[in-house]
Amino acid sequence: MTATAELVVITGGSQGIGRALVVSFLGAGFTVVTCARRAEDLTALAAAHPGAPLHTLPADLSQPADCQRFAEFALGLGLPLAALINNAGAYVPGRFQDEPADGSRLRDMLSVNLLSAYDVTRALLPALLTQGRGHIFTICSTASIMPYPNGGSYGVAKFALLGFTKTLREEVKAQGLRVTAVLPGATLTRSWDGVGMPPERFIDPADVAVAVLGAFQLSPGAVVEELLIRPQLGDLV
């Protein structure tokens, strides 16, 4: 089976780490399917890779119906699933005491950072289990393992995402599936626009993608359970 006869599913692939992942796996010869909220961002992504085996679908993965629709779109391509990379997410800083009193910030952060990964994984899991092989990645964060003063509900969601990943790893490891949590520190994406810090204080999204591809390319007898990546000069506080 040639590489392009296998599918890599990447959520949130139009910018930042997601876009770097799309480029990396296309470069490795895989067919890639991805989604994003903004159709114009997906159009730009496709235009940057003319002729590539890239499939896109506008979808808001904070909505369960869109998670199901995207999963069905991916399965409808009729290709074996090589990997699922749950990358979709959103970063909104702030303290609990400053968040809306109705709890909407936490619900929003859980929907986009945790439940999107749960819903897409759950929708694709039967196909992966039937295959008896495949690799599931979740793009967590260093905020999944340490609290930050301005982390608020975002930090809660990322802690929960790591817990989901660890639980999934235990559930499916005897069924041929590999599961990896990726925990990048501050990465040079739009989330950090306007902070006024030099690029060298951040991780290049391409480095995260290279690390993920490397973990994916290990033999079936090995798995990287957690992939922790920080800027060379350490965390931004």
Contact assessment for residue 3 and residue 28, using Cβ atoms and an 8 Å cutoff: yes
What tokens appear for 16 in the block? Answer: 């930042």
- H helix intervals, the chain: 16-27, 39-47, 64-75, 104-110, 116-131, 152-172, 205-216
Contact assessment for residue 224 and residue 215, using Cβ atoms and an 8 Å cutoff: yes
Sign of CA dihedral 117, 35, 37, 72: negative
Distance CA 142, CA 145 (A): 6
What tokens appear for 26 in the block? Answer: 């296309």
Which H or E run contains 31? Answer: strand 31-36
Closest-CA residue to 150 (of 227, 189, 222, 95): 95
Q: Catalytic amino acids?
A: 154
Q: 62-91 as b/e, with b when 16 or more CB fall inside 10 Å?
A: bbbebbebbbebbbeeebebbbbbbbbbbb
